[in-house]
Structures are given as structure tokens and as C-alpha cells.
Structure 1
Amino acid sequence: MAQDAGTDASAVIDGEGVRRRDFINIAAVSAAGVGGLSLLYPLISQMAPSADVLAESSTEVDISQVQPGQAMKAVFRKQPVFIRNLTAKEIQEAEAVDVGSLRDPQTLKDRTKEGHTNWLITMGVCTHLGCIPLGSGEGEVKGEFGGYFCPCHGSVYDTAARIRKGPAPRNLEVPPYEFTSDTVVKIG
């Protein structure tokens, strides 16, 4: 009878129940899976943007002190942004240009927001090789079209920051922005 009890127990283990070998295999695969995930998590999480990048995903700028004909510089994603309050004369000059004659054809209305056509907001990075054009500061050279002048290779932009002369292939980039009030602009 003692032999029958042993045979019955081994029959249950070897039969339809879970065998010791199956349990060890399942435990080993589970441990390897947990170990693999613990190795992958740091690799994947390091690809996420850092806190300083997330903090710079948008910038709010107070433009209340910028008078017509003046410009200011701000920083967005560690790059300069030019915010220019165009005069009525600058707006007329920009609208008088034949858009078909431009290398990168855009109207002033394409580059500004409706109701705020006097505010031109562009990235302050030349589209040729990434230099910072002059023209947004007091007394800086604005070039022959009254906009911006890149001293690195001579690109000249008009009052709407459209490329008019020189090696730059495109107009100064207009970042995504919106007016949160009459005096505050949110860039990004």
C-alpha cells in the first residue's frame, strides 16, 4: 500500500498537474522578463525630454513696451526670437512687394495673425547657416530693405522678414504663437 501511495503522488505530479520542471521553466522565463524590463526602462526613459526642455516648450512675452518701429528679442527653445511692432509705413512697404518676385513667396498676412498685422514674430536665425541677423536692436544695421541683415554671408530680409537678397533660401521662420491678451504673446 505504501507503494501505491507513492505511485499515486507521482502520477498526479507527472500527469495532468504542474510538473516541477514546468514550474522552474515558468519561474526562469518570468525572472528573465522582469530583468529585461528593468534593463529597458532606463534606456527608454532617458530618451524623454529633460525638465529644462519641457519648461521651454512655450514662452510668454510681454510686448507692451515695444513701440511702433521698435523690436525686441526673446528666447524660445534656446534660440532668439524677434518681435517687431511694424509701423504703418513698414506694413505698406511689405504689402507693396510683388509676392511672385520673392524667392520664398509669402504675404505679410501669411506671416502675421489676423487683427495683429502690425506684430511680426520670427525666429532670429538666418535660414542660410544659422547666424543671428542684425536689425532688431537699437542702431543695428537693417539692410537695404529695412528688415534684417545677416552679417555672416550677407542675406538681406525686408520688413516682413522675407528673404530679398543673399544666399538664404527661405524667409525667417515664423514660430507657432498666439496672443493671450493685447500685450502678451505665447510662443510655442
Structure 2
Amino acid sequence: MAETTGTAVPAEVTEHGDDGVRRRDFINIAAIGAAGVGGLAVVYPLVSQMAPSADVLAESSTEVDISSIEAGQAIKAVFRKQPLFVKRLTPQEIKDANDVDVGSLRDPQTLAERTKEGHEDVLVTMGVCTHLGCVPLGAAEGEVKGEFGGYFCPCHGSHYDTAARIRKGPAPLNLQVPEYEFTSDTVIQVG
């Protein structure tokens, strides 16, 4: 025990001061706080530069006006730098698609599963063959539509039907239907 004027001083007062916090503890807390602020100052620019730029965000969704598409016609648009096919099916094309035995398909899907309820005549698919990524023909007027009246991939001979389902050739899957919704009766938003 330390003696100053003949009275004993408790050990905790000499080691911790009157408030129980030593000066060294305060310095440690201040140093850790400064390091944390400095670390955030270094990390924030690195993380924020990984955020998508404005042009990338703009391409993350596409609006397509389908009011000018007549039955039997299709248009090509661009979605995320890839071709997008939007086709308005004729009553005969809808019947042909519904008459197919779904169990006989390589990638079984009904037309109803590939379209939106209330808009069964509008088929929206990515224009990329599921075999090796070529762009199938059949969306523009006068292009070869293949043996099943839908799309034909000239690269390796894949044939798709009117619902863009694979029917013949090396493609393993149907043409992909992207996420989309009708924002009105004449406008769809893809993505």
C-alpha cells in the first residue's frame, strides 16, 4: 500500500483514478475510433465504385409499345444488349401451340405458361438460341420460320414452334421468356 500522509490509499484509486478510467484506456478508445473513421474513408470509395452506372441501370429494364403489332407480326427490341422478340400470335398460331402434346416436348411448357393471363396472344422471348447463342430467324417479315412456323436458328438448325418452344435441332431449351409485365394494354416493361 502506498503511504502519503500516514493514511492508506486504496489500490483502485491509484491505478484507475477517481472515475475508474485510466488515461491509457481513453487513448486506446480514441485510436480505435480514428482507425475506424479512416478505414471507412478508404473503403467507401472502393465499394461505391462497384455500384452500377446510370447507363447500366437504364438498360436493366425496357419498355416496349406493342400497339402497332398486328396479329401474325413480330418486332425486335433490345433488352440488356440482347435481342428481344415480341410477337402477336394469330388465332391459328395459338390453336397450333395449344394442340401440341406438351409431354412430347424436350422442354415441356404450355403456351399459357409462356404468356401472361389475359394477353395469351402476346409472346415475349429473348432472341437468343439456347444452343450456342445465335439469333434465330422468324421475327422479321420474310424470314425463314422453320418447320413449325415459329423461329429457325440458321447456325445449327434448331426449329422452334409458334410458342417459341424447341421442336427439332440441337437447342436444349425453349427460347427464354424474360420477366415482364403489362403496364397498360399496349405497353410492356421487360426486366
TM-score, normalised with respect to structure 2: 0.86
**Distance in 2 of aligned mates of 1:91 and 1:50:** 41
> What displacement does 1:122 show?
0.6
Structure 2 counterpart of 1:126: 129
1:83 paired residue number? 86
Deviations 1:80-116 (A, max 9, x none): 1100011111111111111110000011111111221
- Out of 144-153 and 37-46, give the one that drifted further: 37-46
SS of 2:38's equivalent in the other structure is helix
The one-letter code matched in structure 2 to 1:167 is: P
The alignment status of 1:38 with 2:38, answered yes or no, reads no
Q: Which residue, out of 4, 10, 17, partners 1:15?
A: 17
CA distance in 2, matches of 1:110, 1:168: 20
Q: How many angstroms apart in 2 are the aligned matches of 1:86 and 1:39?
A: 56
5+ long unaligned stretches in structure 2:
6-12
Match of 1:153 in 2: 156
Percent identity over paired residues:
75
Q: CA deviation at 1:186?
A: 1.5
d(CA) in 2 for partners of 1:129, 1:71: 23
Shift of 1:42: 2.0
Moved more, 15-24 or 121-130: 15-24
Normalized per residue, the structure richer in helix is 1
Question: What corresponds to 1:69 in structure 2?
Answer: 72
CA distance in 2, matches of 1:76, 1:12: 73
Deviation at 1:41, TM superposition (A): 1.3
Q: How many residues align?
A: 181
User: Could you say which residue in structure 2 is the equivalent of 1:24?
Assistant: 27
Moved over 3 A (4+): 11-14, 16-20
Distance 1:85 1:110 in 2: 16
Matches within 5 A, 1:37-186: 37-186=40-189
What are the Cα deviations for residues 43-100 of structure 1, in whole angstroms up to 9, with x where unaligned?
Answer: 2223322222222222111111111111001112222110001111111111111111
Cα offset for 1:24? Answer: 2.3
| 1:115-159 deviation digits (Å, cap 9, x = unpaired) | 211111111111112221111012111111111111222211111
- What RMSD in Å do the two structures reach over aligned CA positions? 2.0
Q: How many angstroms apart in 2 are the aligned matches of 1:110 and 1:171?
A: 12
